Structure 1
Amino acid sequence: MSKYTLLKSRKFFIALSCLVLSSFAPQKMAAQSVTVDVSIDSLQIMIGEQAKIQLQVSLDAKQKAIFPHFKDSLLKGIEIINIAKPDTQYLNNRQRLLITQKYTITSFDSALYYIPPFSIMVGSKEYKSKSLALKVYSPRVDVSHPDHYYPQKGVMNPPFVWSDWVGTIFLSILGIPLMFLIVYLIIRFRDNKPIIRHIKIEPKIPPHQQAMKEIERIKTEKIWQKGHSKEYYTELTDTLRTYIQDRFGFSAMEMTSSEIIEKLMDVEAKDINDLKFLFQTADLVKFAKHDPMMNENDSNLLNAISFINETKAEEQVDKKPVPTEITVEEKRSRRAKVLLSVGIVILSACVAAIIAHIALRLADLFL
């Protein structure tokens, strides 16, 4: 191989290598480049109007950009109304990243503002955008014709619309039964009576059976043997008075012993001398502190049983027992009182809120 041929082949390989390196180098540099662009949608606004600034950063997908932090103003005279959430978009098969940040600004001072470049930190390097300008001007006022301008208008009352008062009308209707319920619960709370009364229906017991049931109880307790003669005769005569009242139909519970005997002599033909002796003994024990003998107490108990058996009404075999309604009222428990108190307080608060709401609505309507 000659020197000329060798030299020519070396130049070819050098040129080929340069060509390959030059083809890869732009891509690598482009992949690592960062561009910052900023734009504003309006170069001039009137006082109080708004403008939007769009800041875009294009960088490698593996890099991280730090945007400038603003509080409430971009610079003196330009206020920031809103900072939108950054929008991220991938490019070039997710090799590049485009981040867009939007700022909504306004101003209330007419002037020509110079907005300095925005600084973006990517890694440890700072990149800056171009600067912006914003012209804020005031509306022109023709002071030579003041009659063309009018003073500030007063507050206008909105028209009356029934649909706006549906809730208030419903609350008004609801508040009336709630107030009656509160009054009812307060009365029940003071009377210490249950809110709901329990009513039991039981078959009516004939007077002689009820009396014999009470006498059997007195006989079993034998309280006269314990020295309680007054209590014994009180219970025995009360049982007889109740039986006489239910059997013969006159108010024996409110009559004296002598009046009961006289009334029985008019309505009953049987001998009632034993019953008369029983009532006389009971009066002596209750009012004269008489202490009867043991056999005398037993005799009077037997006389009471004999009187009931001799004067009881004849039972009809085919007659059905007449049911009797018995209303049972139990005293309210402590837990029920607490719950009732809480219920009264809650209902009262609801009624107060309803009244306050209605008063405010009426005040807004007429004042």
Structure 2
Amino acid sequence: MESASLLQSIQHFETFMAFFMVLALVPVFRRFAPMVGLVDHPGGRKKHAAPVPLVGGVAIYTAFMATVLFNGLYTGFEGLIFGSSTLFLLGLIDDRFDISAALRFVLQAIIISIALSLDSIWLTSLGNFWGVEFSLGILSYPITVLAILGVINAINMLDGLDGLVSGVVMLILFFTLGTASINNNAIAPYTTTLLGAVVGFWLYNYRFPWREKASVFMGDSGTNLLGFILPYLAIHLTIASATNNPIKPAYILWLFALPLWDISAVVLKRIKEGKSPLKAGRDHIHHILLNHGLNVRQAVLFIYGITALSLSLGTSLVYFQFGAVGLYLSFAFALYIYVERLFKYDRKESMAKIVEMKPNTEKKFNTNA
């Protein structure tokens, strides 16, 4: 992209094309969703009161891909096109037929591997440690695949409240766009296109004062799509070219700080309890906030704030030229605080349940006597 101005980047034609396409497509897809079985029904851990169409991801994908193809942005990004399309289709099948977590994980890994091979991009280094470049060597390929897998599933697990994931993704894209524009990186048009599409979806998904519930959900098709494109674009920021300066690989961690903190804490908690890390549950940050008495809109806004704060902190550390060691250590410290707080809350909640159960047990004993 020729312009280094963030404002000019946001005003780019691709942004508005994708935005208005999503606005137009969601009502159309929403109408046909029940006919093809793309509806999320309430029950179990799903607390929404009525069936909701799962076509947000379909609208985002259609708008993103149509804009990319229309503007000829596919050259040199064949892996991005293949990976986003195939993972979108996998998510769509999962929305309709429910694929097992293990099979989904394996298929995601295979698709990501092929996509990275097509564009020949991967993380080759973890950065400079005390003057020594920490090259990944033969581990660069598997680590890149695992990193993208982690983001896909972190985004998927975070998708639990109206407007939550779409808002978090908007913030991540905004900071990614800023970095890409300043560094004159080739990913800027793709970032603006996806940002426009996600903003269009967010308007249907967020709980505004005049609308109590989301009118459409993103679905696994959407979380797969966004979970792949976001780290793919971020990895491109670390690649040097004749026209841009690469950013530190550690900055990628800060771009996805909140989703990665959440999935790390939940996985550690489930392993500690002897549960499957891949099984769905109600132990994420948004569930904890709801249990603390916040309503859905308050919980979502609170998480927006944490996301914006973590993104600002990570960007500031890069701006003030913190080395790789400082970036990794600060991220690890923040992760430790996050996990420690989650475990502390879990212990308090468990003790509260025990206290609540004791009177009931005594009452039953006395009645039977």
Q: TM-score, normalised by structure 2?
A: 0.21
Q: Give the number of the structure whose residues are more often strand, by fraction.
A: 1
Q: Give the number of the structure whose residues are more often helix, by fraction.
A: 2
